[in-house]
Amino acid sequence: MSLASPRAVITGLVLGFVGLLLLCGFAFTLGRSSTFDFRSSFTQAGSTPSSLSTPPASEPTEADPTEPGVSESPPELITIPDLTGVRLPEAEQTLWSLGFFDISTEDATGQDRIVINPNNWVVRSQDPPPGTAVPRDAEITLWVARPTDNATTPEVTEGVIPNVVCMDLQAAQDVLRDAGFYRLRSVDGTGQGRQQWIDRNWVVIAQSEPPGSRPDPTTEIVLTVVAFGEPTGDSGCAS
């Protein structure tokens, strides 16, 4: 038996390798043509899987009252009471009880003073005016003043005691000093012996030297006072 030549062996191997490649290519082509097309099969059958279908329309929601054509019920209107002459804490409490909370205060004298102790202030006017019907979220401005703001500042004459009754203690002392009297002292008119730490929080209801008198400049002038909001006795002073 004769052996094949080396050339014949190489040629055979090459042909076998080429044939193997052709066989693999044919098998790959056949596999691709037979792949199942899931989407096309549903399309051909006239249906679509639920995952590919159009999502359902959202459920209707309640109408938005801000949208055009939607009516909105009007807010409840509350009539503002007359607060003129009422002390500031009482006025604020009245408004709060009616549901008003947007409240601001302004100095009615135009001095732009800041309200530190509400008990020392009285309502002079208000905006909106009394009797106006407004919703609860309306802004309300109270124009306030101290009770002693109505006191008349007397004319000052050197050496003559001025009338300082119904003035606040600070203003009364200023006027007396302008008249040349510097020995000044204040006492608690209620008999409690309280000290007057903030002079503008007290009202003068009496003075030891009568108005128009001409005492010695070294004479001590005693001023009887009460705190704002307290009875002023026979003086008739606003407090």
- DSSP per-residue letters across 23-92: HHHHHHHHHHHT---HHHHHHHTT---GGGSPPPPPPP-PPPTTSTT---PPPPEEEPPP-TT-BHHHHH
Mean pLDDT of 76-80: 95
Domain end call among 145, 164, 180: 145
Report if residue 216 sits inside a domain.
Answer: yes
**How many CB atoms lie under 10 A from the CB of residue 73?**
6
Question: In the chain, how many domains are there?
Answer: 2
| pTM score | 0.63
What is the end-to-end Cα distance of the chain in Å, rounded? 145
Report if residue 170 sits inside a domain.
Answer: yes
For 135, the token pair is 């919703």
Is 224 found in the same domain as 163?
yes
pLDDT at 168: 96
Range(s) of the domain holding residue 124: 77-145
pLDDT tens, residue by residue, 16-68: 666 666 666 655 555 554 444 444 444 444 444 444 455 555 565 655 655 66
For 237, the token pair is 């002073």
Report if residue 72 sits inside a domain.
Answer: no
Q: Collect all residues with Cβ–Cβ distance below 8 Å to 205 and sequence separation of at least 6.
A: 165, 166, 189, 224, 225, 226, 232, 233, 235, 237
pLDDT at 5 over 80: no
CATH of the domain at 209: 3.30.10.20
Angle at 100 between CA 98 and CA 101, to 5 degrees: 135
Is 155 found in the same domain as 131?
no
Of 51 and 208, the one with more pLDDT: 208
Instruction: Tell me the C-alpha distance between 161 and 226, whole Å.
Output: 21
Lowest mean pLDDT among 59-63, 83-87, 107-111, 221-225: 59-63
* Residue 174 DSSP code: H
Is 217 found in the same domain as 158?
yes
Report if residue 131 sits inside a domain.
Answer: yes
Is 135 found in the same domain as 186?
no
Structural contact between residues 217 and 159, judged by C-beta atoms closer than 8 angstroms: yes
Report if residue 66 sits inside a domain.
Answer: no
pLDDT tens, residue by residue, 104-142: 999 999 999 999 999 999 999 999 999 999 999 999 999
